[in-house]
Amino acid sequence: MANNLLAGKRGIIFGALDANSIAWKTALKAHEQGAKFVLTNAPVALRMGEINKLAEQCGTIVIPADATVVEDLDKLVAQAVEHLGGKLDFVLHSIGMSPNVRKGKTYTDLNYEWFQKTLDISALSLHKVLQSCMKQEAINEWGSVVALTYIAGQRAFPGYGDMADAKATLESIVRSFGYYYGNAKKVRINSISQSPTMTTAGSGIKGFDSFFGFADKMSPLGNASADACADYTITLFSDLTKYVTMQNLYHDGGFSNMGVSEVMMNTFAESK
Ligand SMILES: NC(=O)c1ccc[n+]([C@@H]2O[C@H](COP(=O)([O-])OP(=O)(O)OC[C@H]3O[C@@H](n4cnc5c(N)ncnc54)[C@H](O)[C@@H]3O)[C@@H](O)[C@H]2O)c1
């Protein structure tokens, strides 16, 4: 449903890898709502070529940038402002990757070089994006930055590995930078803590199917889809949520406030 919620707004969308990506769905909805934006991803991800289809659909361009490399980000931000013809109103940080998780290293047997990569890609990259935007004065007042996170940043979820620490750091950057950017330029920064979602990043987690099924059975509304996450993100980019900042916002069908559900209790009753 197009309401022109983002008419006249400009942005950067990080992290659309394929049609399952949360960022991909968000780009389509942002386009539908009248926004102009550039797409970006790591050069290695661009080689798949999928993102060009999305760019075509949204009438935009793709600017390569490794989100861990400050020079890439500086160039990206400058080029985006130039291409879009003005400062930005929104940024989506939808980036996550852990070499430890990908290579099956458990939390008690981490490779520390990879751990640093996990933190750099999945958490510090948000700080780097924000610092680059702030230094270049690239975001308009009341602009909105959204980062994607998962509840394993707050609670223990075996199998999520060092990504849990990355998400906790990401959420902390949301709060800390949210203070500084809000104070200086009225830019708001929030994270969305999304349900398990069938994407490349999601299904890389060991036991992902169980995470997915468990969360679905625990949540009164069931798991939130990537499409629904994109809708929620659009509201945060819009002017209807101007005073929401520094928050970790659960978008999880109620999962985060549950103790146990009747469905789960019945599962154990039946197994006796
Ligand atoms: N899928 C889930 O279950 C789930 C749940 C909660 C939160 N999230 C979060 O949502 C976000 C998006 O993930 P997704 O599920 O859409 O999966 P995805 O695999 O489609 O997206 C992850 C993106 O990160 C990009 N990326 C990795 N390294 C990068 C780098 N160095 N520079 C720039 N980009 C880089 C990838 O190319 C990819 O586009 C991530 O932060 C993820 O942790 C996912």
Asked if the structure places residue 39 within a domain, the reply is yes
* 5 Cβ below 6 A of ligand 1: no
Higher pLDDT, 49 or 183: 183
Confidence of residue 169 (pLDDT cuts 50, 70, 90): very high
Are 171 and 248 spatial neighbours (Cβ–Cβ below 8 Å)?
yes
Confidence of residue 271 (pLDDT cuts 50, 70, 90): low
Assigned token pair, 261 = 């559900």
Are 171 and 192 spatial neighbours (Cβ–Cβ below 8 Å)?
no
* 21 Cβ below 6 A of ligand 1: yes
pLDDT of 270 over the 70 cut: no
Asked if the structure places residue 90 within a domain, the reply is yes
Per-residue pLDDT, 49: 80
Asked if the structure places residue 140 within a domain, the reply is yes
pLDDT of 184 over the 80 cut: yes
Asked if the structure places residue 3 within a domain, the reply is no
* 66 Cβ below 6 A of ligand 1: yes
| Cβ neighbours of 156 (radius 10 Å) | 8
pLDDT digits (tens, 9 = 90+) for 78-110: 999 999 999 999 999 999 999 999 999 999 999
Asked if the structure places residue 2 within a domain, the reply is no
* 191 Cβ below 6 A of ligand 1: no
Name which residue sits closest to atom 42 of ligand 1, judged by CA. Answer: 96
Task: Say what the pTM is.
Answer: 0.97
Asked if the structure places residue 4 within a domain, the reply is no
Asked if the structure places residue 224 within a domain, the reply is yes
Are 169 and 150 spatial neighbours (Cβ–Cβ below 8 Å)?
no
State phi, psi for 160 to the nearest 5 degrees: -80, -15
Number of domains in the chain: 1
174-178: Cβ within 8 A, 24+ apart: 174/126, 174/147, 174/246, 174/247, 174/248, 175/246, 177/126, 177/127, 177/130, 178/245, 178/246
pLDDT digits (tens, 9 = 90+) for 10-31: 999 999 999 999 999 999 999 9
* 248 Cβ below 6 A of ligand 1: no
Residue in the block written with tokens 């990355």: 166
Q: Which range marks the domain in which residue 130 is found?
A: 10-271
Distance 94 CA to ligand 1 centre (A): 5
Are 149 and 157 spatial neighbours (Cβ–Cβ below 8 Å)?
no
The CATH number of the domain holding residue 112 is: 3.40.50.720
pLDDT of 1 over the 80 cut: no
Distance 199 CA to ligand 1 centre (A): 8
Pocket perturbation via mutation, ligand 1, pick of 76, 95, 195, 208 by most ligand atoms within 8 A of CB: 95
* 148 Cβ below 6 A of ligand 1: yes
Asked if the structure places residue 108 within a domain, the reply is yes
